Every structure is written in structure tokens, then in C-alpha cells.
Amino acid sequence: MSRTTQTAFVTLTSALSLCVALWQPAYGQTAATERHQVNATTVAEGLNFPWGLAFLPNGDALITEKSGSLRRVSPNGAISAPIKGVPDVVYKSQGGLLDVAIDPNFADTPWVYLSYAEADPAGGDGNSTAVARGKLNGNALTDVTVIFRGAPKYKSGAHFGSRLVFSPQGHLFITLGDRYSAMDDAQTLDNHHGKVVRIWPDGSIPKDNPFVRDDGALDAIWSYGHRNVQGAAIHPETGALWTVEHGPKGGDEINIPEAGKNYGWPIATYGVDYDGSVISDQTHAEGTVQPHYYWVPSIATSNMIFYTGDMFPAWQGDALIAALKGAKVARLDLDGERVMHEESLFAELIQQRIRDIAQGPDGAIYLITDDRNGRFIRITNAAE
Amino acid sequence: MSRTTQTAFVTLTSALSLCVALWQPAYGQTAATERHQVNATTVAEGLNFPWGLAFLPNGDALITEKSGSLRRVSPNGAISAPIKGVPDVVYKSQGGLLDVAIDPNFADTPWVYLSYAEADPAGGDGNSTAVARGKLNGNALTDVTVIFRGAPKYKSGAHFGSRLVFSPQGHLFITLGDRYSAMDDAQTLDNHHGKVVRIWPDGSIPKDNPFVRDDGALDAIWSYGHRNVQGAAIHPETGALWTVEHGPKGGDEINIPEAGKNYGWPIATYGVDYDGSVISDQTHAEGTVQPHYYWVPSIATSNMIFYTGDMFPAWQGDALIAALKGAKVARLDLDGERVMHEESLFAELIQQRIRDIAQGPDGAIYLITDDRNGRFIRITNAAE
């Protein structure tokens, strides 16, 4: 073999090796966990910073993109054109089209609920989290109405919350953020910053909301003292609302928000200074509730579910918390409400920030990733 | 400089560098944790596989060595000659002289309690965990009596337990092991394998022990279905016994053993196969209690305390669990009994298996390490 031939051969071999390396099925992989062997499959990709994910009764998924599009994705990965009728959103920093939820009685009336960053209708430069609903007809929402508008409108691109979950009694919980620079508002009741609110799906206020008889407080408020609550789920046995919120630097929290209670932010937090030299933050404050569980350092909690499917029997009743940091899902093994153990799942399979998590009608676990080329991923049991 | 001189210089420099490297105060170091900056100081070293640690009212520590010696160590690190009167022990594999405890009324009667692997007094080749007590007079134990003898004597070098803690009512809890090859005995009540037992300090049986009216059960049994319980502490607020036990491969557990209850070993465990392919173990079994908390993979839990001192205010009420693996202490931040968070402490400071942990009269945290050159280490608050 001549030197030239040899070089060419080496180059070809290298190129082939590279091709083989690139040719690995990067997103269809298997991993071991403590109790189940799992497969991850990318159902669809090319989603533009997807944020919210909800399943329709027919098995299709509705997925929001932060820039303002709501799309329907079929189980085989076909992505629809944007659904018409979605409200205008403020697409800036953390703001945009955020969560999506399906009415518990969708079969009767096909209401779809959307949370989003809404500009000031009066023309000011502030914005706030709002929630609208519309009826899904084909590829359009009709009868679109705003059922909640965060107050006040505030000039910030940060900390909008905002997950949507229905209580077993049919209330709609909306989780909100403190808007970052307005964090002190989380401790006062004349605004929606740093609150969880509870409304009826038509926007009316439940008569037994905790502050309806307090003239200085906004009637929708359910609980306060939160930072930026981007995850929520209803416990399948107790029916109680659980939430996860981002901490400042460390101190991501799970809470079980009860009516009228104060969850401490910003007067009490487990956020810490990592140099260990000076700890100025209080972890406890009179009249505030300790977190149910917390993370230091932060994992950057996005959303959570309680797993109730048959596909992963060992995970039934567990809380699965998706994380932006570390591209993982934290599994909390629960005995009732008590955390017995934490396991870190899926990080080697995903390698992108995880923005939302849902259990599919098939019992698989679905994730969407926070990326310009966002992926919609199905996690299945490799033993099935 | 001649070549020879140069070589000599380089050699000298290298030797000096080595000396400087060796000269680092390896055991007097500072580390950051989430909430406190800590110093670690070696009080004494040269202990031969120390196992148990207890403080006397005057501030001296009693420390057992597995080979059979009980020594007194002063706060400045002076190690006494072996204290006379200690019972003969079977020093083999995991067996030997194990835990030491001080009578709650030590000022009145200076009883010292020792657990150890005891040969069969009848001359058989079996052994079991036994507990003796004697009065500490100067450098000797007097009036030494065996107050508990595990049954049956069994030929094994493994899983002896055995921590000694006093309940607020003055009972003595003794935590035991399943003797490894006798693991199935943990589910039957005609033996002490895999049990926690409760006796009075003189060896008599409390009348309200759960199985005293069961003819087929040994009267000392408090709880059963344990594997190898090497750690125990009384919760400072509830007065309840907490224990930590080693799991098989993963599945180290904290339990809060209640009278007469079954903690599941070996029919239920969180020990796992790490290949993830086949999980044959049950984590739940009818009639057994779930762990309060568990670790996968194992940290190899040795002993635990609840921290109640003033030196580390942010750790008050927390459970500190010493680990053989990783040379660390797991701090569980508790809200009441509920675990809110786990932090891993001290690993960079210790670098030896940690065999016991105690809170000193000064509020510092003391550790002993499981090594031929075992160390007795004081952890203090670097900010004080």
C-alpha cells in the first residue's frame, strides 16, 4: 500500500468510524434503574421550547411551545400545524405560552386550558400570568375566554409559574411565581405574586376559598409565600395538591399547600451560600410551614406527577419530579405522604433540560425537553 | 552546578516536597457544609478497630476495641491501658468486643454496659451476641454480670448487631443481627436472630414486652424482621427508638421499631440487583412495616444519633447516620419524624470507615474509625 493510499484508507476508516459513532440510535436507549429497566424513545422532535404537555382522551398529546404555538402530536410523532385561537402571549425571557390542561369533563365539553404571559390589556408595559380556556374543535379553539388574570401587571420577564391542575372536586389550581424582583409581594395578600390560586373552571371564585372574607386579600388566593411554582399534581389517594417550586440557590421545595397557609418565601428558605462561610437565610420563620421535602443544591424542578400506571409496578404511588438541571427525573418513593427514598432517573437517556412530565394513557412516562430542538420522549418498561 | 550537585539538589527538593506533602495537617481540616463550616481534629489515633464510643460524665470517652480491650480516652487524647474485668470475647470476622454504654444513673451506680460476641459457655462451637455490665472503678470493672445472652448459640462470624441504648423509661434496647446464614430466623420468634430486644438493665424482662404472654416466643423480643442493626438512638422529642440496619446490597434502612412489629427481613427488602435486569426481591410484604427511610445503594450504616447540642444550631433535631462506605455521615433534616432532606457530611475530612458517632458533652460530634490505626475524631464548628 502506498503512503497516499494508506493515508486515504486511514481517512476513510476514520470517516466510517465517525459515521458509525453518529449513527448510534442516540435517543432510543435502555437504562437500568433500581427497580425497572427502561427504554427511552423520541416520539417527536423539532418542538420549539415546548413547555406544557397534556393527553387527550384519544391518545394524542397537546404540547405548547413557549413562542405561542399549541400543537397536537399523535402517538406516532406527527406534529400538527399550530392550533388556531390561542391567545397572544408575551414571549420574553421565561414568559410565553406555558401550560396546557384538559377539562376533567372533556368528553362532554372539550375545554382546553392554557396559561401564558399576558400583556397589559390597558397598554402598560407590565405583564402577568393569565389563564384562558377554549373549546377544541378540530384544529382550533373556539369560545376562548380569559378566566384568570394575575394582578398586578408587572414589568418582569421572570417567574410566571404556572401549572394547571384540577382538584378531585373540580377546582382549578393555578400555581404562580413571585416575578423575581417583586419577591416581597409573596408575603402580602393584595396581589397574586408568589401564590397558588384556586378558581372554578369558568373563572368564578369558590365560596370557601380561605381569604374570601378578608377585604384586603384577593379572593382567588389559596396559599402564599411561594417563589416560582412550576410543578403541581394531585395526590392520587389523599386528593391533596402537591407543588414543586424553584429555590433561589438551593432550596427547591415540595410543598403540600393547604388553604390559607404561608410557605415562607422570601423570609424562610433552604437556599444557601455555597462557600459555607456565612448563612444569612432563615430556614424557619414563625407562622410559616416547612417544606415537605427540599433539594440542596437545586435540581431546578419543572413539573411533577404521581405515577399510577401499570407499566411500572414498582413506581406506583411514587412522585416523579422533572428537573431542568441534570436532565433527570427525581423519583421519590413514598409511603403515604412520607418520602422514604430518592432515586435519580433517566439522566443518561435525556441529556436535555426536562420541562414537563406526564403519564400517558398507556402507562408510559412522557417527557418534553426545554430546547430549541425540543423532544417529546416516551419512557417504557424494557421488560414488557 | 555540577550534574551530581544538580541531581542531589533535585533529590533534596523532591524529598522536601514529599515532607511538606506529608506534613500537611491531614486530620485537622476545615470543610464547608450546607449550613455550618466545620473543623475535624484527631483527638487520638492508634486504636485497634474501635467499635463503640460512650462519654463519661467527666468528659472522658470509653472506647471499645474489637479485639477485646476497653479503653478510656481523655479529651486531650491520652489513651489508658485496657480496663480490667472485660468479659472474654470471640474475636473473629465481625465478632469481638462491640458496643459500650453508660448507665443513665451512672453518678449513683457506675454501671458500664458492653455488648460482645460470646462463645458457648457449654463448650460448643457456636457464639452469640451477649451483654454484660460491670461497675467502673478506676481502671477496672467489678461485679461483672452477663445480663443478656442471644439464643441460640450459632456458628457464624457475621451479623452480631449490636448497639445499646436506654429508653427514657430506663429500658435497655439491644439491637441484634440475623447471623447471616440464619437470616430466615428473623421471621420466627423462638430465637434472637434479627431482633431488637428490650430488657431492664439488670437483665430482667419488662412485663409489658410484646411477646411475654406468647409461649412460643422469647420474652425479650421487642421487634423482629431485622437484618443487622448496628445503629440505634432515642428520638429526643418522641422518646421512640430509631434504628439503622445494613441492607443486603442496597436497602440499608432506618426503622422506628414498635412493640411486636415485623420489619420484613428477609421477605421484604429494598436491596436490588444492580444490573437492573431481574428484580426478584419483594419490597412490600403483608404484615410487615415499610422502612422509615432507606438507601440504595448501601452506605453501610454503622450508628446514628440525634443531634441536640448548641454547637451546630442548624443541625438541632437532625438525625446523623454514620457510614462505613464513603466515610461519611448522612444528615437527615427532620421536621418532626419526617425526612425533608439528606446531606452527606465529612467525607473529605475522614477518609476511613466510620464505626461510631456520638455527641460529646461539649456539643461537638465525635467519630471513631474502623481501622487498624483507628482514629477518634472531634468535629467542631469552625465559626466558633
| pLDDT tens-digit series, residues A237-289 | 999 999 999 999 899 999 999 999 999 999 999 987 555 544 446 899 999 99
Element (H, E) at A208: none
pLDDT tens per residue across span B353-362:
999 999 999 9
What's the pLDDT band for A384 if we cut at 50, 70, 90? confident
Residue A9 pLDDT greater than 70, yes or no: no
Asked if A37's CB is within 8 angstroms of B338's CB, the reply is no
Quick check: B160 contacting A, CB < 8 Å?
A: no
Confidence at residue B274, expressed as pLDDT on a 0 to 100 scale: 54
Of B270, B293, B340, the CB nearest to A290: B340
Residue A14 pLDDT greater than 60, yes or no: no
Q: In 10 A of CB A338, how many CB atoms?
A: 16
Quick check: A272 contacting B, CB < 8 Å?
A: yes
Of A275, A296, A343, the CB nearest to B341: A296
- Quick check: A269 and A236 in contact, CB under 8 A? no
In sequence order, the 6+-apart residues with CB closer than 8 A to the CB of B238 are B337
Q: C-alpha cell of B257?
A: 421499631
Least Cα separation, residue A107 to chain B (angstroms): 38
- Quick check: A88 and A119 in contact, CB under 8 A? yes
pLDDT tens per residue across span A151-207:
999 999 999 999 999 999 999 999 999 999 999 999 999 999 999 999 999 999 999
Confidence at residue A273, expressed as pLDDT on a 0 to 100 scale: 57
Residue B278 pLDDT greater than 50, yes or no: no
Question: Domains of chain A, with CATH numbers?
Answer: 27-381 (2.120.10.30)
For A36, nearest residue in chain B (alpha carbons)? B276
What's the pLDDT band for B249 if we cut at 50, 70, 90? confident
pLDDT tens per residue across span A16-52:
444 344 444 444 699 999 999 999 999 999 999 999 9
Confidence at residue B271, expressed as pLDDT on a 0 to 100 scale: 86
For B284, nearest residue in chain A (alpha carbons)? A314
Confidence at residue A201, expressed as pLDDT on a 0 to 100 scale: 98
Residue A4 pLDDT greater than 90, yes or no: no
Asked if B276's CB is within 8 angstroms of A36's CB, the reply is yes
Nearest Cα to A74, choosing from A378, A384, A379, A380?
A378
Least Cα separation, residue A205 to chain B (angstroms): 33
Confidence at residue A20, expressed as pLDDT on a 0 to 100 scale: 40
Confidence at residue B384, expressed as pLDDT on a 0 to 100 scale: 78
For B282, nearest residue in chain A (alpha carbons)? A314
Instruction: Please tell me the distance from the alpha carbon of residue A43 to that of residue B282, in angstroms, as a whole number.
Output: 33
Q: C-alpha cell of B373?
A: 490505626
Instruction: Please tell me the distance from the alpha carbon of residue B28 to that of residue B43, in angstroms, as a whole number.
Output: 10
pLDDT tens per residue across span A114-137:
999 999 999 999 999 999 999 999
Asked if B335's CB is within 8 angstroms of A339's CB, the reply is no
| A11 phi-psi bin (left φ>0, alpha ψ -120 to 50, beta other) | alpha
Residue B279 pLDDT greater than 90, yes or no: no
DSSP annotation of A93: T
Question: What integer best gives the mean pLDDT of chain B?
Answer: 92
Instruction: Please tell me the distance from the alpha carbon of residue A337 to that of residue A335, in angstroms, as a whole number.
Output: 6
Asked if A293's CB is within 8 angstroms of B341's CB, the reply is yes
Confidence at residue B252, expressed as pLDDT on a 0 to 100 scale: 96
Tell which wins on pLDDT, A305 or B8. Answer: A305
Tell me what percent of the residues of chain A surpass a pLDDT of 70. 90
Least Cα separation, residue A348 to chain B (angstroms): 15
Q: Is the dihedral of CA A70, A113, A364, A232 positive or negative?
A: positive
Quick check: A340 contacting B, CB < 8 Å?
A: yes
Please tell me whether the peptide bond between A361 and the residue prior to it is cis, using omega within 30 degrees of 0.
no
What's the pLDDT band for B3 if we cut at 50, 70, 90? very low
Question: What integer best gives the mean pLDDT of chain A?
Answer: 92
Least Cα separation, residue A377 to chain B (angstroms): 21
Q: C-alpha cell of B358?
A: 456520638
> Would you call A10 exposed, middle or buried from its count of C-beta atoms within 10 A (0-12, 13-18, 19+)?
exposed
Confidence at residue B28, expressed as pLDDT on a 0 to 100 scale: 60
Confidence at residue B53, expressed as pLDDT on a 0 to 100 scale: 98
Confidence at residue A150, expressed as pLDDT on a 0 to 100 scale: 98
Confidence at residue B251, expressed as pLDDT on a 0 to 100 scale: 93
* B284 among known catalytic residues: no
- For residue B340, the chain A residues in CB contact (below 8 A) are 290-294
- A and B: number of Cβ contacts within 8 A: 75
| Residues of A (290-309) whose Cβ lies below 8 Å from B | 290-296
Residue B14 pLDDT greater than 60, yes or no: no
Query: At residue A309, what is the residue type?
Result: G
Quick check: B202 contacting A, CB < 8 Å?
A: no
Asked if A291's CB is within 8 angstroms of B340's CB, the reply is yes
Instruction: Please tell me the distance from the alpha carbon of residue A180 to that of residue B269, in angstroms, as a whole number.
Output: 45
Of B290, B296, B333, the CB nearest to A335: B290
Confidence at residue A21, expressed as pLDDT on a 0 to 100 scale: 40
Residue A329 pLDDT greater than 60, yes or no: yes
